[in-house]
Structure 1
Amino acid sequence: MQGRDKLTYRIALRVLLGVLLLCGASGAAAVYVGPAAVMGPSFADTHGVDCRTVATMKSNDGHGLVVRQFVAANADDDLVRFRTALRVAEALRNQQTPHLVQVSVMDTDGPSSLSRMRGRAIGAKITLIGNPATDVEAQAGTVSGFSVWGPAGPDGSFYGIRLDAMPEDIEKMLSELEKISGCSEPSVSAPSVTDDSG
């Protein structure tokens, strides 16, 4: 009889420990997924962050207006930079209905001269083409872009791995935009270059 009581005690103890372990794990999971699951993604996770216009270039490629803009943003996360570029590009497309719009996001410590706004200075880039008019544009598709993994280095350059986005993922991100806005203009007017030649 005493042996039976001990066996019952051990089983009850194991069940109790199992329940406590399960509750603890569930609590940890709830803490881990809590904010995003309960409140949804943050504004930055969907729209990117505030940015500053550094330079805007406009030209006509024979098929319509081409707008290329370089902006600076303080964003260590590559996806946040990518969504920032996407939001700004969509704002430019809505405002000016260009044939092609391209937005490149740099770090706030990035270059200020146009000649250096290329290569590792770019942390994310989006290109939107209304109606592809050439074989090159048709191959690129109506939406394309990339981001560079990781934050910028002390010199404002990005040394991470380049991550190219799938067109369907970009389209999905576009559909999730609720507030479409460009970047703030700097206190000193950003360089603007216009070329009306074909």
Structure 2
Amino acid sequence: MAAARRRLFHAFKISRKLALLAGGFLLVLGASGTAALVFAPASMMSGFSNTPGGHCKTLYQSEFKRDNEKRLIAVISTDDVEPLARVRTGVRIARHLAETLHPDLVIVQVADHRGPTTRADLRGQAIGAEIVHAPHPAKTLATTKPWEARYIDALSTEAGYYFGTRVDMRLTELEAVNQQIELVEGCDGDVVDEEPKTASAGGTAEPAGGHDKPAKAPSH
């Protein structure tokens, strides 16, 4: 009798795994539409944990000025699977950048850690979410809200691309996500072994504390 129960339990475990795998596969295949988000150059990345969820690495980060505003854009890659998990990580990084670098506007774009890493390829379906954060909305002309976010409502493919519909989140939803974040910190995959640098308007690197050149602000 005990052996029969063990066989029944084992069969249930297999069927449940198959159902989850099939559901995720159909979600990717059944999603339709594309998203037009903001994209930026990126450098190579590595060093992710095998355990999915919450791990990220900064691919690209740049500060620039627009109409006397200090703006910052960052592209991160993450191993988050679910769309809302990508948003949660993006919100956490946006808060970290706002609290440490004090820009008037922060834009964080989220890519998959298995996706492309070259500048030419980090566009279109390579971006799964975008978060815009204005710590003090009255200080920026880009938005009137403290938070904006949009994401692709689909799982990433094995190659790290997102194919699905674009969802724009409501401010109340983003405020709820923000309140749920207990620990605000940067990406755990970042390794700082030299003086931080940002990209200048001409595309070359300069020390982070250097003079910011005017640059055209990305649309979102």
**Same fold judged by TM-score > 0.5?**
yes
Give 1 or 2 for the bigger CA radius of gyration: 1
From the superposition, tell whether residues 122 and 191 of structure 1 become closer, same or farther in structure 2 (CA, over 3 Å).
farther
Structure 2 CA distance for aligned equivalents of residues 53 and 65 of structure 1: 20
Structure 2 CA distance for aligned equivalents of residues 61 and 107 of structure 1: 29
From the superposition, tell whether residues 114 and 66 of structure 1 become closer, same or farther in structure 2 (CA, over 3 Å).
farther
Structure 2 CA distance for aligned equivalents of residues 117 and 169 of structure 1: 27
Tell me the matched-pair count: 148
- Kindly state the Cα deviation for residue 113 of structure 1 after the two structures are TM-superposed: 2.2
User: Match for residue 194 of structure 1?
Assistant: 200
User: Match for residue 102 of structure 1?
Assistant: 107
Moved more, 156-165 or 78-87: 156-165
What aligned pairs does 1:61-140 form with structure 2 within 5 A after superposition? 61-129=66-134, 130-132=136-138, 133-134=140-141, 136-138=142-144
Task: From the two aligned structures, give the one with the greater helix fraction.
Answer: 1
Structure 1 CA distance for aligned equivalents of residues 70 and 120 of structure 2: 22
TM-score by length of 1: 0.67
Say what the alpha-carbon RMSD is for the aligned residues.
2.2
Structure 2 CA distance for aligned equivalents of residues 82 and 108 of structure 1: 15
User: Match for residue 29 of structure 2?
Assistant: none
- Kindly state the Cα deviation for residue 148 of structure 1 after the two structures are TM-superposed: 1.3
User: Deviations 1:26-57 (Å, cap 9, x if unpaired)?
Assistant: xxxxxxxxxxxxxxxxxxxxxx6011111111
Q: Establish whether residue 148 from structure 1 lines up as the match of residue 152 from structure 2.
A: yes
Moved more, 118-127 or 187-196: 187-196
Structure 2 CA distance for aligned equivalents of residues 85 and 186 of structure 1: 19
User: Do 2:94 and 2:131's aligned partners in 1 also have CA atoms closer than 8 Å?
Assistant: yes
User: Do 1:55 and 1:191's aligned partners in 2 also have CA atoms closer than 8 Å?
Assistant: no
User: Deviation above 3 Å: which 4+ runs of structure 1?
Assistant: 186-192
Structure 2 CA distance for aligned equivalents of residues 127 and 162 of structure 1: 15
Aligned-partner SS, 2:98:
helix
Unaligned runs of 5+ in 1: 1-47
TM-score by length of 2: 0.61
Unaligned runs of 5+ in 2: 1-52, 202-211, 215-220
